[in-house]
Structure 1
Amino acid sequence: MNGQTDHIPGGTGEGGGTTGGGADTGTGRQAILRAARRAFAFRPYAEVTLRAIAAEAGVSPSLIVKHFGTKERLFNAVADFGPAADALLAAPPASLGRHLVLALLSSRREQQSDPLLRVVFSLGKDDERTLLRERFDAQFTQRLAALLPGAGPGLRAELIAGQLLGLGVTLSLYRTGEAGRATDEHLADLYAPVLQHLITPADPV
C-alpha cells in the first residue's frame, strides 16, 4: 500500500486482526472497521490516518494498533469480503435468492453496516480502491458464479451482485421510509424472487 504503515507511537505492537467479519466482543473492533470502511471508501489511501479513524470510531489510536497493527493491515481487513461471502452464499441454489436477502439484512442489523456496500464507493483510480474492487469480484462475484447452474453464470452473478448492492443503497437511502420499516421477511418476499430468477432461470440464458 504505497509502502505506508502509519504506526502510532506508544502503541502495543502489531495486532492480529485480519478479517472484516466476526462479532464485536466489547473491544471496539467493529466500530474501528466501520470507521475504516468509510475512510478508505471515500478518501485516497495516503490521506487516511489511524488517528482520524480512531476519532470517528470513538477509540484510542493505540487500540487500532492492538487489533490491526498497521494501516496496511487495517486496509486488508476492510478489503476482505470473504467472511461476508461465506455467510451470504451458505445456501443451495434452489433457496439462495431468499437466503441472500435475509443474510444481507441480518448482517446490516448485527454489524450496523452493509457487508458489501463499501465497494460501491471504491470507484477511484488509485491502487487500493482497485484492489477493493478486485477482492469483491474474486471473493464474492466469482464465488457466486461458480455456484450457479446453467449458462452464462458470470453475467448472472454480476447482475445478482448489482441487485444486492441496490438493496443496500435503497435501505440506506430510505432508512426512515417504508423500506426501512419493512420486516426482513416482507423484504425477502418482494426481493428474493428477482434474485432467484437469476440464480435458477426458467429459460436458458
Structure 2
Amino acid sequence: MSGPSHAIPSSRDAVLDSAGKLFGARGYRAVTVRDIASDAGVSAALVMKLYGSKEKLFAAVQPDESLLNELQVPASELGATLVFRVLMRRERGLKEPWAMLPFSIQDSPAPEAARTETRDRYLASIAGLIGDTTPDRRYAAIVVALMMGFGEAVRTLGLFGGWDFDELVARYGAIVQAQIDACAAACR
C-alpha cells in the first residue's frame, strides 16, 4: 500500500517549482525546457506534455492577483493585511508576486502584451477590493504601486530586515491604508 499522496510532490508541482525558480533566476530567454526538466527530475517530453510550450509554462508560473481574492478583512484593516502577507511570505521563503511582476513582464515573450494584461488584472482586482470606481482606477493604481515597491524593497533590496515585524506592518500598512481610505471617501 502506498503512503499519502501529499508526501511526494507531483511531477506537475516539481516542474512548476523548477520553472519558477529558473525563470526567476535567469529570465525567460536564458532558460530552456531541458533546463527545467533536468532541475525537476523529469523528461523534457513530460514538461511539453504537461504544458505544451515554454510560453505556456512561463505563463503558469507568473504571479497572479488571486492572492487578493482571498482577503476577507474589514476595509479598515486592508492596508496592514496586504503588508502582513508580503512579510509572511518573506518569513516562510515563499515567492513574492509583488516583487516578481516587473521581472515577469520584462522577461515575457511578449512584454507589451504582458504589461497590459498584468496591469489590467491587478488594477481590476485592487479596484474591486477597495471599491475604486474612478474611470482611471487612480486609487487602485497607487495601491498597486505601493505594494510593488514594498515587495521589491523587501525581496530585491532586502530592506527592513532589522525592523520589528509588527511595527513595519503598522507603519507601511498605514501608508497603503491612507490610499484605501481616500478611495472610500472619494468613491461613495
Q: TM-score over 0.5 for the alignment?
A: yes
Q: 1:79 to 1:172 in 2, by over 3 A?
A: closer
1: CA distance, partners of 2:109 / 2:140: 24
Is residue 2:177 matched to residue 1:196? yes
In the alignment, what sits opposite 2:3? none
How far does residue 145 in structure 1 lie from its aligned partner after superposition?
Answer: 0.9
Aligned counterpart, 1:145: 127
State how 1:169-180 maps to structure 2 within 5 Å: 169-175=152-158, 179-180=160-161
| 2:147 aligned with 1:164 | yes
Alpha-carbon distance change, 138 to 111 in structure 1, aligned in 2, over 3 angstroms: farther
Whether the aligned pair in 1 keeps the contact of 2:99 and 2:155 (CA below 8 Å) is no
2:68 corresponding residue in structure 1: 85
Structure 1: gaps (5+ residues): 1-22
* Structure 1 position 49 matched with structure 2 position 32: yes
**Identical columns (%):** 21
* C-alpha distance in 1 between matches for 2:89 and 2:117: 19
Give the alignment's Cα RMSD to 1 decimal.
Answer: 3.5
Match of 2:95 among 91, 104, 113: 113
Structure number having the greater helix percentage: 2
Structure 1 residues 54, 125: closer, same or farther in 2, change over 3 A? closer
CA 24–200 in structure 1, closer or farther in 2 if over 3 Å, else same: farther
Tell whether the 8 Å contact from 1:51 to 1:61 is kept in structure 2 after alignment.
Answer: no
Q: Does 1:95 align with 2:77?
A: yes
TM-score with structure 1 setting the length: 0.66
Please, what TM-score do these two structures have when normalized by structure 2? Answer: 0.71
Size of the aligned set, in residue pairs, is 175
